Amino acid sequence: QLQLQESGPGLVKPSETLSLTCTVSGGSISSSTYYWGWIRQPPGKGLEWIGSIYYSGGTYYNPSLKSRVTISVDTSKNQLSLKLISVTAADTAVYYCARHRARGLNMMLVYFDAWGQGTLVTVSS
Amino acid sequence: QSALTQPASVSGSPGQSITISCTGTSSDVGGYDYVSWYQQHPGKAPKLMIFDVNNRPSGVSARFSGSKSGSTASLTISGLQAEDEATYYCSSYASSSTLFGGGTKLTVL
């Protein structure tokens, strides 16, 4: 059974870099029909897609976050990572990793069918 | 790109049916048959309930169904049960991007 587990610091200082890792078990991150994504949810608010990556390294990012986000993948460890620079209190959220189904020759990203449990990251001095 | 528009809340009594709408534009909901719906209970991760407008993943109750007309998608839950009380989010493909709705809190009276 596929499992995703987020890990990383729960507290980050303003202006610093938020770094998280997602470890995938029970399946290979090197799947031809899936991307792997990050989604966040500020306390009491809705979901926001951050970006998604293919096992070969191709990425799609939310235009509103693109200038601050880097998503990478390590197929040898079956992991994906998220880096978000210059964080502020507005970046305080539960961060989820998820498997992102892709369709068609141009790999349209269509739905998330497996999620991690999420990890709360608070930005505060 | 703006978030998809959902009502903030809906409610219904056990056994009844409810429908949650999700309005977008011709660049997202109206342009592709790639609308999905997620159920989220407090403190839990979202769970996929509907994909590609009207398909249910294995294990999801047939009481959940989806549809789309123009740029508005809908999630219908029939035979409401207490366990259906949760927040529901729609999502759509949007030209190399993914959009979510703001979420609808379903209260089972």
Is A24 within 8 Å of A79 (Cβ atoms)?
yes
Report the mean per-residue pLDDT for chain B.
96
- Mean pLDDT of all residues in B12-40: 97
Interface contact flag, B32 A108, Cβ < 8 Å:
yes
Best to test chain A binding among B4, B98, B105 (most A CBs inside 10 Å): B98
Residue B96 confidence (pLDDT): 87
Question: What does DSSP assign to residue A37?
Answer: E
Does residue B7 register a pLDDT over 90?
A: yes
Is A2 within 8 Å of A113 (Cβ atoms)?
no
Residue A52 confidence (pLDDT): 97
A:B CB pairs within 8 Å: 64
What tens digit of pLDDT does each residue of A39-98 get?
A: 999 999 999 999 999 999 999 999 999 999 999 999 999 999 999 999 999 999 999 999
- Mean pLDDT of all residues in A18-44: 96
Residue with structure tokens 């070969």? A56
- Mean pLDDT of all residues in B28-48: 97
Chain B residues touching A1 at Cβ < 8 A? none
Burial, A67: exposed, middle or buried (Cβ in 10 Å; 0-12, 13-18, 19+)?
A: exposed
Q: Residue B46: which of A47, A62, A64 has the nearest Cβ?
A: A47
- B25 or B2: which leads in pLDDT: B25
Closest CA to B12 of B102, B76, B100, B91: B76
- Mean pLDDT of all residues in A18-45: 96
Helix (H) / strand (E) containing A72: strand A69-74
Q: Residues, chain A, total?
A: 125
Closest CA to A109 of B33, B35, B102, B97: B97
What tens digit of pLDDT does each residue of B51-65 get?
A: 999 999 999 999 999
Three-state DSSP class for residue A31? coil
Band (A104; pLDDT cuts 50, 70, 90)? confident
Report the mean per-residue pLDDT for chain A.
96
Give A125→chain B minimum CA distance, Å: 25
CB atoms within 10 A of CB B2: 10
What tokens does B77 get? Answer: 């839950």
Interface contact flag, A47 B1, Cβ < 8 Å:
no
Does residue B2 register a pLDDT over 80?
A: no
- Strands (E) across chain B are located at 9-12, 18-23, 35-40, 47-50, 64-69, 72-77, 86-93, 98-100, 104-108
Interface contact flag, B52 A48, Cβ < 8 Å:
no
Question: What does DSSP assign to residue B16?
Answer: -
Break chain A down into helix, strand, coil percent, rounded to 5: 0, 55, 45
**Residue A109 contacts B where some CB pair is shorter than 8 Å:** yes
Band (B1; pLDDT cuts 50, 70, 90)? low
Interface contact flag, B93 A49, Cβ < 8 Å:
no
